A and B are shown apart, each in its own frame.
Chain A
Amino acid sequence: MPEATTNSRTTRAGQHRYVAPLEETPLQSVDAVSKESDGSSLWKDAFRSLIREPLFIISALLILLIAVVVALPALFTSADPTFCTLDNSLADPRAGHPLGFNQQGCDIYARVIYGARASVMVGAFTTIAVVILGGIVGAIAGFYGGWLDALLSRIIDIFFAIPFILAAIVLLQLFRGSISAWHIVAVLAAFGWTQIARITRGAVISTKNSDFVTASTAVGATPLKNLIRHVLPNSIAPVIVTATVSLGIYIVAEATLSYLGLGLPTSIVSWGADIASAQTLLRTNPEALFFPAAALAVTVLSFIMMGDAVRDALDPKARTR
């Protein structure tokens, strides 16, 4: 490129040596973000990769289906799950009763459909309670640090060290005979919040020293405003992932308590109680155990898969591959 070379050799007034000419590119086209293009964020990127992920699509569709079953069970069956007569005890499937009957003569299919509500509601409300309680404690411990962190961390250690299912059994003795769904939610949350608290604390600690928080402090934001406006929104990702997975785990925990005889009262249709009562029939009528157990496993699986897919999408290390 001879012309370019000669052109750039031209010296300006007052210059004795060669100086490269100024960059002619207008600043806007380099630094400015075009207003037409969509902004990008962690969540937008994650969502873009999620909608191409089969695992996420399958789990999302399943959760949607489960939500419909929970909200409107009557759409899926016209049989009454609490209508049980011993005439039907262990009867074979017939028209209108596709899965047959259990020992008490209740329609298994109807009980599987109506049992979804109790199990999923306990899981969902426990998760909400755990996220609120654990989130607040973890955020305060991580953000303020110092003696407050030391104190809260020891309290978390104490609750964490007691085996979860054991604490639930002891606490539920207090309500023995009159256990309601709210008791189970309260007991599961009382000993389940520590995991979320630890994760929130870790995430808040790693976020609070970011440059954008320092910048916000520099323009006069109070610590509380920093915490709510800047630190928490940027620490929420791992909490959401853990919460999604633990929703499934709490459904399992509720069923386990039912097995131990400390679950929901028999007047409420629930998978846990149905599985536990079908235990003795395993040899002759495995379907009485299989269907509620399968429904529970598929529900739990959808939430775990969803959490897994979201975790992968939010992890920049996993995304490059």
Chain B
Amino acid sequence: MSGSLLSIRQLAVQVEGKQILDRLDLEVRPGEVHAIMGPNGSGKSTLAHVLAGRPGYEVTGGEVRYDGQDLLALEVEQRAAKGVFLAFQYPVEIPGVSNIQFLKTALNSLRKQRGEPELDAMELLDSVKARMAQMQMDEALLYRGVNEGFSGGEKKSNEILQMLVLEPRLAILDETDSGLDIDALKRVAAGINWFRREDRSLILVTHYQRLLDYVKPDYVHVLQQGRIGRSGGAELALELEQAGYAPTSGTAPERTGGVR
């Protein structure tokens, strides 16, 4: 499809010999927000990781084009430089490296790869603090080791902060909403909405409808048996919330945690 930022065709991926993704197709245009839902083990996180280039995933078929390029041929850091960002489901701790130092190193590495000059440290600090204020994050987190001793909510907010500072073109959020209480969820959602722009795209990998109450997706896809089983608009998520995942997979339908 022309005009796509991300174009996935017939993607097949194995992990340790097991087929996880199988002939998956997905088109994401600039400015669009796609929610990827589906039962546990349906391959949601695998999709997120393959797009970011995590080692350990074997692509056995299909292709992924990003901004007209073969995304799978690029190294992890090259994908990052081209604007692919993954918010981790389990953000990693980096002891002894302060959050601000990490942000600065990351941003300047990206800028260097793009042939842009390094950002002035004070300028960066000001813009980071402004975004933290928006997210209602404690500035003290800047001077602590990356995610070191952060609460679950702080870690997820920190991922969104990184996204806001690094300004990617395609942000993939891997279950950023899981494990958050309602206040933290609202803050994270607010961050995502600030990020939304007509030249930026988002893929929200999520179990639950509840994030979509705050971040309205353009499309909702249900991943089943390693491919997109159903697609629809924002209303599909509401339908899933009530009826669970349609039993087209042959396995027992799993209810989402959103059903209480």
A and B interact: no
- B-to-A contact residues, CB < 8 Å: none
Residues of A within 8 A of B (CB): none
